[in-house]
Amino acid sequence: MIDFPEDDVIVRGKNTKISFFEKNPRKCPFCLTEFYHESLLTGNSRIIAGPLRNDLRRIYEKSSKYGKVYPLIYVVTVCPKCLYAAFSEDFSLADISRADHALSEQYNRRKYVEDFFGTDIDFTKNRDLVSGAASYFLAISGYYWHTKDVFPTLKKALSSLRLSWTLEDLAAEMPSENYDRLIPFFQYKASELYTKSIDIMQTGEELHDKLKSFGPDIDNNFGYEGMLYMGACLALSASVFMPDKAVKLSVLEDAKTKISRIFGSGKSSKAKPGPLLDKIRELHVSITDEVETLKL
């Protein structure tokens, strides 16, 4: 078992604890290492919810008592030894019939995570923005070891999207480290994975009935409509980097179709989450404008 860390309390400013290591150890389904996962304490106004961005990311205000808190960095459980990672509710559900393969890849996992995030990564220590970003990076590969029961493609899409969000925070906190250069790549990856997830919902290739939340952020669940919206939203962002006009047009037409599906999904507009509905309309206008400009 990996020892309980001595510095199990995050101390910021006025000796204020914002997280804790769980009392009971988790056990890695692959290498069987036992370790303690760190979770965020949520009471006492530690996190102050601010506005919802157009990409459905929740912004949190800085607390005068607790400082800047990043709830996103605590939700992926990572085995500190073999670096297998998944969202906390899925961690123990990995397909252990593939343990040999999963373990044989552990050296590659470490190499890639160190290439991107440095050699100081240690998941027995308190999370910070760097290890938080690394946890999502590892979760993208971690869902390769899951069965269709947990809708792994959407989990990879969420991991890639939240990685791009955490990279934004890192770029703001450490502007000299060039983390901003990685953001378009993981946004594009999220866009591809969202498109794939939407197709999978049609074919039934993976299952979504046990899905806890479609997210995309940890404080919201915008359901199937939210997934279609995110697919279109990310496609619009990704299209900025597409030099080929015909490809760009095709991607944007596909994004428009996704939005049309929200309106045609059989429910009345009153049944759809309110904050999303206005954003859907705005996105539809933005994509339509972009398509019209390209056709000129």
Place of tokens 């962002």: 237
- Do 54 and 283 touch, CB atoms closer than 8 A? yes
Whichever of 31 and 211 has its CB closer to Zn ion, that residue is 31
State which amino acid sits at residue 155: K
Q: Closest Cα partner for 154 from 137, 140, 166, 175?
A: 140
Q: Least CB distance from residue 180 to Zn ion, whole Å?
A: 31
CA 184 to chain centre: 14
Closer residue to Zn ion in complex, CB, 94/228: 94
Shortest Cβ 83–Zn ion spacing (Å) = 7
Contact call for residue 218 and Zn ion (CB under 5 A): no
Q: Which of 169, 208, 178, 198 is nearest to 58 (CA)?
A: 169
DSSP helix/strand/coil, 19:
strand
> SS3 for 220-237, per residue?
CCCHHHHHHHHHHHHHHH
Q: How far is the CB of 110 from Zn ion (least distance, A)?
A: 11
Half-sphere exposure of 210 (CA within 13 A, CB side): 12
Stretch that binds Zn ion, among 27-35, 93-101, 110-118, 272-280 (CB under 5 A): 27-35
CB 132 within 8 A of CB 70: yes
Ranges assigned E (strand) in 54-133:
58-61, 76-78, 85-87
Q: Please tell me whether residue 245 adopts helix, strand or coil conformation.
A: helix
Minimum Å gap between C-beta 140 and Zn ion is: 17
82 binds Zn ion (CB under 5 A): yes
What's the min distance (Å) between Cβ of 99 and Zn ion?
10
Query: What part of residues 33-62 is at the interface with Zn ion (CB under 5 A)?
Result: 33
Binding piece for Zn ion, criterion CB under 5 A, among 20-28, 56-64, 116-124, 149-157: 20-28
Q: What is the CA radius of gyration of the chain?
A: 20
Part of the chain binding Zn ion (CB under 5 A), chosen from 73-81, 153-161, 220-228, 250-258: 73-81
**Of 70 and 123, which CB lies nearer to Zn ion in the complex structure?**
123
Residues 134, 136, 137, 141: is their CA dihedral positive or negative?
Answer: positive
Which residue in 18, 28, 99, 134 binds Zn ion (CB under 5 A)?
A: 28
Given the complex with Zn ion, which of 28 and 161 has the nearer CB atom?
Answer: 28
Binding map of Zn ion across residues 119-158, x = CB under 5 A, - = no contact: ----------------------------------------
- For position 103 contacting Zn ion by CB under 5 A, the verdict is no
Report if residue 2 touches Zn ion, rule: CB under 5 A. Answer: no
How many helices (H) and strands (E) the chain has is answered by 8, 8
Count of residues binding Zn ion (CB under 5 A)? 8
Stretch that binds Zn ion, among 84-92, 128-136, 198-206, 242-250 (CB under 5 A): 84-92
Q: Is 31 in the site for Zn ion (CB under 5 A)?
A: yes
Least distance from Zn ion to the Cβ atom of residue 119, Å = 19
Is the link from the previous residue into 216 a cis peptide, with omega within 30 of 0?
A: yes
Kind and range of the H or E run holding 119: none
Query: What residues line the site for Zn ion (CB under 5 A)?
Result: 28, 30-31, 33, 79, 81-82, 84
